[in-house]
Structure 1
Amino acid sequence: MATTQRYDVKDMALAAEGVRRIEWADRQMPVLAAIRERFERERPLDGYRVSACLHVTTETANLMRTLKAGGADVVICASNPLSTQDDVAAALVDAYGISTFAIKGEDNDTYYQHLEAAIDHRPHITMDDGADVIGILHSTRREQLGDVIAGTEETTTGVIRLRALERDGKLGFPVVAVNEARTKHLFDNRYGTGQSTIDGIIRATNVLLAGRVLVVVGYGWCGRGVAMRAKGMGAHVIVTEVDPMKAIEAVMDGFPVMPMEEAAKVGDILVTATGDKSVISKRHFELLKDGAILANTGHFNVEIEIPALRALATGTRVAREFVEEFTLADGRRVYLLADGRLVNLSAAEGHPAQVMDMSFANQALSAEYVVANGATLERKVYVVPKDIDDEIARLKLATMGVKIDQLTEEQAKYLASWDEGT
């Protein structure tokens, strides 16, 4: 279709393929589809501008379609330079009339130009995956803070940043931490990240996991998922942690837990999932086995100290697409996947649509929630309201054909009382 939308995508000729893939994902996202049908009738977002900074994938495209169906004026940019699917970006502009600024492999300057383009939209609602839009609004574009009713945040790394802003009393508007919804972190982070991270590693390297030692750095919900899936494929999984509660959980789940200095000596594949920086650093590179593979599934490419690895290397080359080989002074070779960026979105397609169905249902319903309640919300980080979380779980079960029991009136009364003993 002809469009007057502002955009910056790789190739508009890719749009038809993008539409086919978006439609395929939509068939796996019945909860979001049901919300979109209701949004088309009720138009709860009419008149509101939304600036989204998310991974531009088929699943995200269906979220953008849902927001637009609800009446929102939507602009989207990429939340990671390597996570864009170029055919999807073209389809969003050409087929769905949504301004899109995203090119897979864009350089740092282009990445930030795209962020600025999304902020130029003067959003009433921000929708972040990593808090980059919110970060710019709170630094160089503070004059726009008053325009924003509220924001939403998709990922752990972004929530960490936002809680720091709140703690320092500097958060300029309320934000709903979609990442903290149970229907998000229990499923997206565990099952989605678990499967898609392994998918990215295998697509990039074509290595056999069975029999390999795979080190999971960080045992949060994402790390749990990676460990579970790697174990299921026959890998010998080791966990490293700094949190004693998570460490003991990993032990109880049957995984050896050790310091990074010990794990670095024995790991064939090391996967970071912490949200922190330099968790694999220079001192660890010096201990790695010849042929060790490094991958990251955290949001930013700071978890592996890449500048230190480059400084140690006597030579580098591209071994395969998304695989860079570093030769060290003693002849050992170390392989870095996808420049240390999210391997599941850089070298693969990200989470399965069935998982993102719940995560993006949370985004859509949270946008509706902040429009309805923004005037009463304080400048704080909020969790997704329990009734939204429960409704998404209920809808998902229904689409899967799963039925569950309901409390009887007597049972509900018993659970709410204190005066009935044994």
Structure 2
Amino acid sequence: MYENFDAELGWAALHMPRTRAAVAALPALNGVRLACNMHLDLKMAPLVAGLIDRGAEVFLTTCNPTTVQNDVVDFLVKKGASAHAWRDMSDSDWSDSFDKALAWGPTHLCEMGADLTSRLHQSSNGPAIIAGLEATGSGISRLGGVTPRYPIFNWDDLPVKEGLHNRHMVGLTAWHTFFQTTHLTLHEKTVVVIGYGLVGQGVAAAAKAYGGQVQIAELDPARALQAKYDGWPVVDLLEAMPQADVIATATGAKGVLAAKHLQALKDGAFILNVGHVAQEIDVPFLKQHPHSQPMPYVDAYRLPDKTLYLLADGSMFNLTAGYGDSLNAFDVTLAVMAAGIGHIVDAGKDWQPGLYLLPQSAWKAVL
């Protein structure tokens, strides 16, 4: 929670000039009912408040209950938003939130993970959505199994998001959060990064910059080859476990770090996830064992022959235990999101159903 929310909100808004300008450039949003499924932390407040000021009606759900800041939700509800989201809400309440958002009757969707779209397409009924936005690789993967009933614009694959947020900020802030949470650095530690997409690349580069001895575990042959060309040792995941001091999952897929991998880890290893999906690590296996919490966001699980340290319960570490992207870097990301909302409200109705990359004409002016 933020100690002085009003002051920190003002600070965030002050250091997000691109977002302010992008919101100011939006058309009047009267009549727009926007359901947002997103991380609800301080950085989101200036955008959502701006949308409401422009006339939009907004319903808030979260893409990850562990990253919700309740004071942010409270502030936005007071601004006029409807919401069904709170920190650490149960899986049942979280699932109910998707149904509530759709029952609210949105005209447009703004998502991180495609939860609303997936839920909507499980039934032949539901609101008539004009257009939607999707911000994550995990969401885009989920949409691969859906025939959209409306145009959905992918902005995760924009160079400005891939190259800034995915490639640089996730890794940087993950290790900042590691230092703050554990009071340890990466010096003399072997760090195994699972996944060598853009997030994994950033996690690896930042770990090396902070003194870690980095190895890459990657199943995709092309990405594994890229990792080798970038100078990283590429290892078999199971074989690497006994030497690993820190494991970072960065794939956005479920079940990446299974029980057999956890059992092979050395005593005292740290495990963290920075991918969008909270189930990258087999946390239920760990929870079968006795545990304690020596530090906030650090759970020590006592297996028969070792103790393993799980960070942030396997959820997105940099945003659950930390503050995520810097304000100035996320300002670019959020300005592109604002421009994307302008696009789906204005031009979105003219596109045929399908999945499209958000066109450059929609966002280039915010840079």
- Global fold match (TM > 0.5): yes
Q: Output aligned runs, 1:257-276, within 5 Å.
A: 257-276=234-253
Residue 130 of structure 1, CA deviation:
1.0
Q: Output aligned runs, 1:87-98, within 5 Å.
A: 87-94=71-78, 96-98=79-81
The question of 1:131 aligning with 2:114 is answered: yes
Residue 335 of structure 1, CA deviation:
1.1
Q: Distance in 1 between matches of 2:73 and 2:6?
A: 10
Q: Distance in 1 between matches of 2:54 and 2:223?
A: 40
Q: Output aligned runs, 1:357-376, within 5 Å.
A: 357-376=331-350
Q: Which amino acid aligns with 1:195?
A: L
Q: Distance in 1 between matches of 2:361 and 2:348?
A: 17
Taking a change above 3 Å as real, the CA distance of residues 100 and 17 of structure 1, as seen in their structure-2 partners, is farther
Q: Distance in 1 between matches of 2:177 and 2:184?
A: 11
Q: Distance in 2 between matches of 1:385 and 1:67?
A: 21
Residue 16 of structure 1, CA deviation:
8.8
Q: Distance in 2 between matches of 1:377 and 1:35?
A: 22
The question of 1:172 aligning with 2:154 is answered: no
Aligned to 1:159: 140
The question of 1:144 aligning with 2:126 is answered: yes
Q: Distance in 2 between matches of 1:370 and 1:47?
A: 13
Q: Distance in 1 between matches of 2:277 and 2:95?
A: 15
The question of 1:22 aligning with 2:9 is answered: yes
TM-score (ref. length: structure 1): 0.83
Aligned to 1:292: 269
Aligned to 2:303: 328
Asked if 2 retains the 8 angstrom alpha-carbon contact of 1:203 and 1:347, the reply is no
Q: Distance in 2 between matches of 1:333 and 1:197?
A: 22
Deviations 1:263-288 (A, max 9, x none): 21211110001011221112211210
Q: Which amino acid aligns with 2:75?
A: A
Select the residue among 172, 176, 183 that pairs with 1:199.
Answer: 176
Q: Distance in 2 between matches of 1:176 and 1:70?
A: 22
Secondary structure, counterpart of 1:357 in structure 2: helix
Q: Which amino acid aligns with 2:135?
A: E
Aligned to 1:237: 214
Q: Distance in 1 between matches of 2:5 and 2:117?
A: 29
Q: How many percent identity over aligned positions?
A: 31
The runs of 5 or more residues in structure 1 that have no matched partner are: 1-13, 396-422
Aligned to 2:287: 310
Aligned residues: 367
Secondary structure, counterpart of 2:203 in structure 1: helix
Select the residue among 339, 355, 362 that pairs with 2:329.
Answer: 355
Deviations 1:41-84 (A, max 9, x none): x41x2211000011101111112123223321111122111101
The question of 1:54 aligning with 2:38 is answered: yes
Deviations 1:220-240 (A, max 9, x none): 111111111111111111111
The question of 1:346 aligning with 2:333 is answered: no
Secondary structure, counterpart of 1:164 in structure 2: coil
Q: Output aligned runs, 1:23-38, within 5 Å.
A: 23-38=10-25
Q: Output aligned runs, 1:408-419, within 5 Å.
A: none
Q: Distance in 1 between matches of 2:177 and 2:112?
A: 19
Aligned to 1:8: none
Asked if 1 retains the 8 angstrom alpha-carbon contact of 2:61 and 2:84, the reply is yes
Select the residue among 252, 255, 278 that pairs with 2:255.
Answer: 278
Asked if 1 retains the 8 angstrom alpha-carbon contact of 2:131 and 2:349, the reply is no
Q: Distance in 2 between matches of 1:241 and 1:157?
A: 17
Residue 389 of structure 1, CA deviation:
4.1
The question of 1:254 aligning with 2:235 is answered: no
Deviations 1:155-176 (A, max 9, x none): 11111101221xxxx3222111
Asked if 2 retains the 8 angstrom alpha-carbon contact of 1:52 and 1:127, the reply is yes
Taking a change above 3 Å as real, the CA distance of residues 53 and 278 of structure 1, as seen in their structure-2 partners, is same
Q: Distance in 2 between matches of 1:70 and 1:117?
A: 24
Residue 122 of structure 1, CA deviation:
0.8
Asked if 2 retains the 8 angstrom alpha-carbon contact of 1:295 and 1:338, the reply is yes
Q: Which amino acid aligns with 1:353?
A: L
